[in-house]
Amino acid sequence: MDDAHDVSVTIEGTSMDDESSTDNAFSAETGRASVHPPKQASAEQKVKKGKETTLDAEALLLAATLVLDAKVGRNLDYILGEKYVKSYLWYNSAYLRWALYFCIAFNLSLAIFEEPAVPNAAIPYWGTMIMEFFCLSYFTFRLLHAFYFQYSKVFIKDAKNIVVLMVILLTILDMICYIIWINVAPDTHPVRWSRPLRPLFIINFPDGKQIRRAFRNIRRTVPDIMNVLFLFLLSILLFGLLALKLFYKREITYPSGQPYFRNYFDCIWDLYVLVTTANNPDVMMPAYDKSNWFALFFVIYLIICLYIFMSIVLATIYNNYKKNLKNEIKAAVFLKRQRLAKAFDLLKVKRGNEEVLTYSTWKQLVKFILPGKSDVHTDLLMKILDQDNSNVLNKKSFLNLSDLLHVKLTEVKDRQTLLEKYFPSVYNHYVSERFKLIVRHRFFRYFFDLLILLNAVFIAIDYDLADWFFLSIFTFEILCKLYVLGGKEFLLRFWNIFDVFVIGAAFIATIVEKALGSTNKELNTLDILLVLRVMRLIKIFGSIKRFKVILLTLVNIGPSIITYGGVIFVFYYFFAIIGMEIFAGYISYYGYTVQDSSKLFCGNLNLNNTAFYHEHYCNNNFNDILKAMVVMFELTVVNQWHVITSGFVAVTSQVARLYFFAFHICCVVIVLNIFTAFILEAFILEYTLQTVPRLESVVESKIKELGLGIGMKPKTHSIQGPSGDKIDLMEGEVLPDMDELDGNKEDEENSDDENLPDLSKEKGLKFHLRKNNRKKVEVLLQQMFQGELGDEEEGPKSFSDVENYQRSRKLTLEELT
Amino acid sequence: MDDAHDVSVTIEGTSMDDESSTDNAFSAETGRASVHPPKQASAEQKVKKGKETTLDAEALLLAATLVLDAKVGRNLDYILGEKYVKSYLWYNSAYLRWALYFCIAFNLSLAIFEEPAVPNAAIPYWGTMIMEFFCLSYFTFRLLHAFYFQYSKVFIKDAKNIVVLMVILLTILDMICYIIWINVAPDTHPVRWSRPLRPLFIINFPDGKQIRRAFRNIRRTVPDIMNVLFLFLLSILLFGLLALKLFYKREITYPSGQPYFRNYFDCIWDLYVLVTTANNPDVMMPAYDKSNWFALFFVIYLIICLYIFMSIVLATIYNNYKKNLKNEIKAAVFLKRQRLAKAFDLLKVKRGNEEVLTYSTWKQLVKFILPGKSDVHTDLLMKILDQDNSNVLNKKSFLNLSDLLHVKLTEVKDRQTLLEKYFPSVYNHYVSERFKLIVRHRFFRYFFDLLILLNAVFIAIDYDLADWFFLSIFTFEILCKLYVLGGKEFLLRFWNIFDVFVIGAAFIATIVEKALGSTNKELNTLDILLVLRVMRLIKIFGSIKRFKVILLTLVNIGPSIITYGGVIFVFYYFFAIIGMEIFAGYISYYGYTVQDSSKLFCGNLNLNNTAFYHEHYCNNNFNDILKAMVVMFELTVVNQWHVITSGFVAVTSQVARLYFFAFHICCVVIVLNIFTAFILEAFILEYTLQTVPRLESVVESKIKELGLGIGMKPKTHSIQGPSGDKIDLMEGEVLPDMDELDGNKEDEENSDDENLPDLSKEKGLKFHLRKNNRKKVEVLLQQMFQGELGDEEEGPKSFSDVENYQRSRKLTLEELT
């Protein structure tokens, strides 16, 4: 039996996230054999032996793991044997994952301590090497762990694993080289050339799914942009030729006396910079001063190369982004379904003509998935999945399981505050109830909004005396809310956390300042906290509906923005390390009033008379990773990047332009446009979905039908459970709706944000159905696609098939525009 | 009878383009009564009198006008009476329209001659006033003309007319004021304050449909952006407060010694400029030099306000643009259908249960619409419309008429070259045929592509000797093509025109230069033409498929780009005139080496020690309209706009910032983003439509079915015409397909661009079906929407209804992303 399992086949559909196995025939080869005959047979044998006895524990474990995979969206291959699955679960445990995150971050942060180090943070090379070796060891362990529970064929075919392995080996090789080099010839500026590879760990471990997805997006988009970029660069070359012919005989010079369009290479460079607008109108002025007509050349050039070509680059990227998004959504839905279907196959029994999952199996499965939940809870979940009240689950119902697991279900005790639990008599006293009513009232909120406004005005006019008053009244507000909502509920709201942070920090800082009696000019953290308090004004605007849409969208797309932050960080790190190797030490900041001749002109006489020195850019250097990162950011913002470039060209050679050009193409033209495309799409989706009739999954409609959501009144007070027992949902009588008492009916649509509905008044088990606009866009899109699919359709198995998976439909105007 | 007509009601559906009547109840009131009972009765009476006699000439005229309206997409209201319709047709005649365009352009160009005039172009004020008065008279005439054929109620309710009238009156008032002012107090700098209103004529005459549509788009978008802009400006205010608190105590200065973040107003200004990236990183450096941590403030600020907010502004605009586009398409389709339905109602007779249009009516109608076409032509058109071969047209078929009229139909004689017509024996001689074959061969093209490349290389390495060779061989190429294709066909291709222009101009310039023997350094127009010749390289890239998509898209969206150019011109003109009134004369360009003290520092001592003077920006001034336009463009490109602003602030006051701020918000934040949105959408649409199975209208499928397109072989040699005659489509035998001879089958998809199919070999009447990718996107979208509509659905009558016109459909993933 166990042997049979070990030869069993890998999970299908894994290719979604895994590029390497996507594009080769391997996944197709192994993927289809997934419904494992001996396994299936064994399940059915069990049933025949003793009807509805305890199921094979192994099958349960496997099925439960598959269900959890579907819920979380994991997509790693593993061997379907008990010990491998257990190993896989351990691999996914929070400890090991966070250890990995820590090691990756630590490994990256070594650049702070390595030569050229951040001032006062330098550690000898052997010190950082030991730390790096420690990180590499953990990476190797992680890799071996994955190797253990995967088929070696699958493991090796996965490009991610190969990349990680290669980077580890290269790093070790580099370390050895460096040790030899530095001991043999320490004066020759030894290079740690493997350091730019470090960010690859972020992308290539299976845990960095989001970032990898963004990178996949970039990779898929690049070929399409290449065509546009090629034409774009070609037109720059042509315009360069034109400019050369136009200007080279005229002996024009720049105000600084530099030659103006005298050789082809400079022409192209100046025109490329012009397309980034960084040297406009300076590059035009000398010719324009000569003759007004020359302005026409630059105007035409900018219209074609900047306004048209750059828009087309954005359009191409945006178009690809949308296409990819669509495919990712489809792939995710199919992956989920395939895992659930596999789990179902492991547990199913034959009942007449149908293959179903029995109530007892369900009960055991839930024990695995949601340990420690009551029977009522289990029964209720089944009740909701079981669309036709047959007391068994068919495949179609079972495929909704992961949606159901995403809906939060709480019991009364979970919703009570600590005070209510331990001092119910005090907390539920008449006075306390009155007080709670007041705090929950919207005038309470209005009052404090008004105070925030007042505070802002006082800060603006620099009137400090009222500070103590505001500080204490805002503290009082926080305490009130904490009392009424309880800690858990309180911390769920972003603005509450923000308030606690700002007010708390201000409180402490004020006390410290008073205690020390310092009026130190440098210490104005207090001022900052003061102003952060003003940021709470945004909270007020958040309650006005027209702004709310925008702010909500911002909050919703926040996490994804951080993903793109990660992508940009990868590029920054890569370029920063390379920049440090090339440019470190050439330019330093010594202030601009030094007399010491070795420190004149940022310590480099070549910078004399350059715009770089003139504009006081000496601090824009590559002398440590932090400075380099700031330079990267400045280059991303683009303005004056040619001046920064010119500084480094002055201290090295013209070839340095290549580095800055490469950075601009990679980070600004490609990555930044992808970022814009992402925001564009995310914003438009959020915006559109808010105007669309509420989308609900099968699970949600069922919950609504049974009236089991928070704030809903069930139609029946008890529901017949699958086991035949009655599930008591309500205890006591239905209280009048709190919203009605508050008179809050009119602004119902923003009640979940601004008002404080009293959850503890909700009796029994209740599902938390989120408002439409609070759902993640990705989840919504998945649901939408699920709605389009057939009930049991599991879709194509590999990503490239998903890309071509078109549902035949007539093209419509709505779809296109 | 005539009386009855005069009381008849206006055409419905006019409100599409006409905002004023859109939003009020008026159009709804009159719109629905459009099917004019007496008219209908009269047509039927006619039929009853003598079956199928000559139809009422008036009804025919009205119907023909309505059909032409539908074809061209005109949407002006007019009274359905004969004399009014004739007046309307005259109103739309090319002469009167071009006279209007001329007057508008002339009126705008007066700014060149008025004070402050372009150097050497100044005309005394009474001179320009006489010219302006002439333009105004024509505008008034045009207005009265429209008033004549419209109901006065309709005319008055139309905001466009009111605006034109108001502008005319204000201008006259202004002229009177100016005359008085300049004669009473000529030294007080009299102001012609009505001049910024001039561009309103472009928008508000019915002929500027495209530009008005773009403006409507802007107007509909602005309310939505306002919310985002408000939050954006608010966050700048907050960050300004934060910056003030952070920096004002620290006594930091800019390198120039200016104070750094010392007062709130400057804080906000600097931060606003930073969001345009124009002063990055300069604004950060002083603080960054003080402490590295201050960089964080600017990084966070830029991420929030630049990368996130500005993307959201673009997203909002883009989203609105798409929504508007959809509605415009729908409105245009409905308008077309309504006009055609109206025309049908005028001409229909009852046949059994059906209302139809008979063959004889059809014949008369076509005589009106397409005068001078043969009967065969007329019959063929009917054949194609008449889907069920019933020899009469029902309403459903008739609604396709405007699509049919858009398909070009040519007869053999139209496709012959002039040479073939007049010297057939020479032109069709064996040698000539051989020669034509050679020219049409793709190796002929490849050969000249190669020469272009060679030429480019020679130009790049500045080798002039081969010039004559290239010039003559390219001239030879043009002559060959001209001989083979004939003039008409030759000029249809963009690259041919380009070639003729470049080569012809180079030829003339070379001869002139040789003749004059001048080696004048200034005269290098020849060089430019040389390089323009290199631009033909793009032609080569245009024949590579991957680049072709991009170039085709560019060519296709070209005309619309010009529309947006018009929009931007309107804003430029408005701001330029105002700028001239405010800033003219303060700054002048005298070169930077003058000694004369009155000419130092651009003639204004206030500019001493400013960045404006230091960077040699003196030519960026408002001393005449052309200079002002260049400044406008520079401000649009954004970079260094704060330096330009600072110059004008230095010579006037801080308030000048308001002008530049307003320009930035209007032209850059709003108009430029709309332009980007437009390119984004146009590009994505073009791109998507090229991958989609060919969309064809009903008309096109019918043409294909009958094999009547260019390059198609008809299935039958003659078709039974509706009159019972046979229509002979083919003369003689079908020749072997030219493409096959050429071996061009493999690159069929680009045959319409690169190769030269021999049209004269196509016998008989043939339709020119354009390749999918050469159709205008708007036409495609209209067809798509028509395909979705019911056969006779005429849709809602007013634009606001169209906006809410939703076809009930489930939301799908495809549609959303």
Does residue B222 register a pLDDT over 60? yes
Task: Search chain A and give the residue with CA nearest B635.
Answer: A281
Instruction: For B147-183, write each residue's pLDDT tens digit.
Output: 999 988 888 888 889 999 999 999 999 999 999 998 9
Domain shared by B520 and B584, yes or no: no
Distances (CA, A) of B560 to A223, B564, B675: 28, 7, 10
Tokens of A106: 């630590």
The DSSP code sequence of B278-345 is TTTTTTTHHHHHH-TTHHHHHHHHIIIIIIIIHHHHHHHHHHHHHHHHHHHHHHHHHHHHHHHHHHHH
Confidence of residue A750 (pLDDT cuts 50, 70, 90): very low
Confidence of residue B201 (pLDDT cuts 50, 70, 90): very high
Question: Cβ of A242 and B553 within 8 Å?
Answer: no
> Residue B23's pLDDT is what?
36
- Which residues of chain A does B695 touch, with a Cβ-Cβ cutoff of 8 Å? 811
Among B231, B322, B532, the residue with its CB nearest the CB of A547 is B231
Pick the last residue of a domain from A206, A226, A242. Answer: A206
> Residue B72's pLDDT is what?
83
Does residue B397 register a pLDDT over 60? yes
Domain shared by B513 and B564, yes or no: no
Q: What is the mean pLDDT of residues A562-583?
A: 93
Nearest to A222 by CA among A564, A803, A665, A636: A665
- Which residues of chain B does A591 touch, with a Cβ-Cβ cutoff of 8 Å? 289
Which of A14-18, A633-637, A681-685, B207-211 is least confident? A14-18
> Residue A668's pLDDT is what?
92
Which of A183-197, A382-396, A469-483, B228-242 is least confident? A382-396
Among A711-720, B355-364, B624-633, top mean pLDDT goes to: B624-633
What is the amino acid identity at position A72?
V
Domain shared by B452 and B519, yes or no: yes
Among A246, A282, A550, the residue with its CB nearest the CB of B615 is A282
- Which residues of chain B does A228 touch, with a Cβ-Cβ cutoff of 8 Å? 550
Q: Provide the β-strand partners of residue B355.
A: B350
Domain shared by B49 and B168, yes or no: yes
Among A292, A549, A787, the residue with its CB nearest the CB of B626 is A292
Task: Search chain A and give the residue with CA nearest B676.
Answer: A311
Confidence of residue B91 (pLDDT cuts 50, 70, 90): very high
Q: How far apart are CA B585 and CA B642, in angstroms?
A: 20
Residue B370 lies in a domain: no
Tally the domains of chain A.
4
- Which residues of chain A does B285 touch, with a Cβ-Cβ cutoff of 8 Å? 615-617, 619-620
Q: What is the mean pLDDT of residues A612-616?
A: 89
> Residue B556's pLDDT is what?
77
Higher pLDDT, B467 or B129: B129
Closest CA–CA distance from residue B38 to any residue of chain A (Å): 39
Confidence of residue A26 (pLDDT cuts 50, 70, 90): very low
Does residue A569 register a pLDDT over 90? yes
> Residue B636's pLDDT is what?
94
Higher pLDDT, A381 or B47: A381
- Which residues of chain B does A675 touch, with a Cβ-Cβ cutoff of 8 Å? 307, 311
Q: What is the mean pLDDT of residues A349-362?
A: 83
Instruction: For A275-316, write each residue's pLDDT tens digit.
Output: 999 998 899 999 998 888 889 999 999 999 999 999 999 999
Residue B749 lies in a domain: no
How are beta strands A393-394 and A354-357 bridged, if at all? antiparallel
Question: Cβ of B550 and A231 within 8 Å?
Answer: yes
Question: Cβ of B788 and A322 within 8 Å?
Answer: no
Q: What is the mean pLDDT of residues A49-53?
A: 45
Among A285, A672, A816, the residue with its CB nearest the CB of B619 is A285
Domain shared by B237 and B160, yes or no: no
Among B241, B549, B807, the residue with its CB nearest the CB of A534 is B241
Confidence of residue A6 (pLDDT cuts 50, 70, 90): very low
- Report CA dihedral (B88, B94, B98, B100) to the nearest 10 degrees: -10
Confidence of residue A52 (pLDDT cuts 50, 70, 90): very low
Domain shared by B242 and B280, yes or no: yes
Whether ipTM > 0.90 holds is no
> Residue B520's pLDDT is what?
52
Q: What is the mean pLDDT of residues B81-101?
A: 91
Task: Search chain A and give the residue with CA nearest B532.
Answer: A242
Does residue A550 register a pLDDT over 90? no
> Residue B518's pLDDT is what?
55
- Which residues of chain A does B630 touch, with a Cβ-Cβ cutoff of 8 Å? 288, 292, 295, 299
Task: Search chain B and give the residue with CA nearest A264.
Answer: B460
Instruction: For B568-627, write each residue's pLDDT tens digit.
Output: 999 999 999 999 999 988 998 888 888 887 888 888 888 888 889 888 899 999 999 999
> Residue A133's pLDDT is what?
94
Say how many residues make up chain B: 817
Closest CA–CA distance from residue A647 to any residue of chain B (Å): 14
- Which residues of chain B does A311 touch, with a Cβ-Cβ cutoff of 8 Å? 675-676, 679-680, 683
* Residue B491 CB neighbour total at 10 angstroms: 13
Among A322, A634, A817, the residue with its CB nearest the CB of B817 is A322
Does residue B650 register a pLDDT over 70? yes
Closest CA–CA distance from residue A236 to any residue of chain B (Å): 11
Domain shared by B66 and B193, yes or no: yes
Closest CA–CA distance from residue B668 to any residue of chain A (Å): 12
What does pTM read for this prediction? 0.84
Tokens of A744: 């809050």
Higher pLDDT, B499 or A15: B499
Measured between its terminal Cα atoms, the distance across chain B in Å is 57
What is the amino acid identity at position A456?
A
Among B231, B235, B541, the residue with its CB nearest the CB of A231 is B541
Confidence of residue B716 (pLDDT cuts 50, 70, 90): very low
> Residue B482's pLDDT is what?
84
Does residue B206 register a pLDDT over 50? yes
Question: Cβ of A692 and B634 within 8 Å?
Answer: no
Question: Cβ of A281 and B640 within 8 Å?
Answer: yes
Question: Cβ of A227 and B255 within 8 Å?
Answer: no
Domain that holds residue B199: 9-206
Instruction: Give buried/exposed letters for B93-129 (b at 16+ CB in 10 A, else e).
Output: eeebeeebeebbeebbebbebbbbbbeeebbebeebb
Question: Cβ of A676 and B314 within 8 Å?
Answer: yes
Domain shared by A186 and A225, yes or no: no
Does residue B197 register a pLDDT over 90? yes
Instruction: For B729-783, write each residue's pLDDT tens digit.
Output: 443 333 333 333 333 333 333 334 445 555 555 556 666 665 544 556 677 777 7
Task: Search chain A and give the residue with CA nearest B633.
Answer: A299
Closest CA–CA distance from residue A301 to any residue of chain B (Å): 12
Task: Search chain B and give the residue with CA nearest A273.
Answer: B639
Question: Cβ of A619 and B289 within 8 Å?
Answer: yes
Distances (CA, A) of A386 to A54, A351, A572: 21, 16, 51
Does residue A547 register a pLDDT over 60? yes
Nearest to B624 by CA among B659, B661, B585: B585
Among B231, B314, B807, the residue with its CB nearest the CB of A541 is B231
Question: Cβ of A550 and B617 within 8 Å?
Answer: no
Q: What is the mean pLDDT of residues B137-155?
A: 92
**Average pLDDT of chain A?**
78
Q: How far apart are CA A427 and CA A420, in angstroms?
A: 6
> Residue B413's pLDDT is what?
62
Does residue B115 register a pLDDT over 70? yes
Decide if A650 contacts A611 (C-beta within 8 A).
Answer: no
Closest CA–CA distance from residue A290 to any residue of chain B (Å): 10
Distances (CA, A) of A648 to A402, A550, A613, A642, A727: 55, 42, 11, 10, 75
Residue A512 lies in a domain: yes
> Residue A772's pLDDT is what?
43
Pick the last residue of a domain from B648, B669, B691. Answer: B691
> Residue B19's pLDDT is what?
41
> Residue A810's pLDDT is what?
54
Which of A371-375, A433-437, B615-619 is least confident? A371-375
Residue B150 lies in a domain: yes
> Residue B743's pLDDT is what?
35
Domain shared by B277 and B331, yes or no: yes
Question: Cβ of B314 and A811 within 8 Å?
Answer: no
Residue B424 lies in a domain: no
Higher pLDDT, B435 or A731: B435
Domain shared by A18 and A112, yes or no: yes
Closest CA–CA distance from residue B391 to any residue of chain A (Å): 32
> Residue A412's pLDDT is what?
60
Question: Cβ of B813 and A788 within 8 Å?
Answer: yes
Higher pLDDT, B537 or B775: B537
Does residue A422 register a pLDDT over 50? yes
Task: Search chain A and give the residue with CA nearest B632.
Answer: A299
Confidence of residue A196 (pLDDT cuts 50, 70, 90): very high
Q: What is the mean pLDDT of residues A591-608?
A: 83
Q: What is the mean pLDDT of residues A490-494?
A: 75
Pick the last residue of a domain from B500, B535, B570. Answer: B535
What is the interface size between A and B, counted as CB pairs within 8 Å? 298
Domain shared by B35 and B108, yes or no: yes
Decide if A22 contacts A95 (C-beta within 8 A).
Answer: no
> Residue B51's pLDDT is what?
43
Does residue A317 register a pLDDT over 80? yes
Does residue A1 register a pLDDT over 60? no
- Which residues of chain A does B246 touch, with a Cβ-Cβ cutoff of 8 Å? 524, 527-528
Residue A527 lies in a domain: yes
- Which residues of chain B does A288 touch, with a Cβ-Cβ cutoff of 8 Å? 619, 630
Residue A77 lies in a domain: yes
Among B242, B311, B615, the residue with its CB nearest the CB of A680 is B311
Question: Cβ of B637 and A306 within 8 Å?
Answer: yes
> Residue A576's pLDDT is what?
96
Domain shared by B168 and B33, yes or no: yes
Residue B178 lies in a domain: yes
Chain Cα centroid distance, residue B152: 31
Among B242, B249, B286, the residue with its CB nearest the CB of A531 is B242
